[in-house]
Amino acid sequence: MTAVDMQASAAALAERALELPELAHARTVAAYVSVGSEPGTLALLDALRARGVRVLLPALLPDNDLDWGAYAGENSLARVQHGGKMALFEPTGERLGPDAVTDADVVLLPGLAVDARGMRLGRGGGSYDRVLARLEGAGAHPSLVVLLYDSEVVERVPAEPHDRPVHAVVTPSATRRFREP
């Protein structure tokens, strides 16, 4: 994809995601800043913030777990290189702790693909598996939504016994629901 294509996809993705009733009523959304060739998320983060939504962004911990901080605009992000892993954009403000995600009404998840069952394929680091386990352990039931390109919604991805299906996937051209939160 060209830079222009990626920008157009990010705008379409934000527009489609903002139509979700879950996001229309959310007070707190846990999200992420896209990196590399991932579908762009900054337009969506800024639109949520403009609505008065508290947006939490992850900060990768040394053990691959995630801490959280509040998003206060693009200027509140720092590019952080994590060893041999990719660089991530993380919030520069106060760290709220790994349990802060349990306050989210919606959790926007990155992924490589989602299948027809709603199973998400991640990058293999286990960070979001820990988030989902933390939510379950706390009895929290936010809407789980993956943001992808259309081509990343596939028939089947590998799944482990600990994997949990998501509620929906949003792409630049469609929203597909798998189950109610």
Annotated binding site for ATP: 120-128
Binding positions: 33, 38, 120-128
Provide the H-helix boundaries in 55-174: 127-137
Decide if 33 contacts 60 (C-beta within 8 A).
no
Amino acid identity of residue 117, one-letter, is R
Identify the DSSP state of 134.
H
Angle in degrees, CA 179, 125, 150, rounded to 5: 45
**How far is Cα of residue 81 from the mean position of the Cα atoms in its chain?**
19
Decide if 149 contacts 9 (C-beta within 8 A).
yes
Distance CA 181, CA 142 (A): 7
Strands 54-60 and 113-114: unpaired
Binding positions for substrate: 33, 38
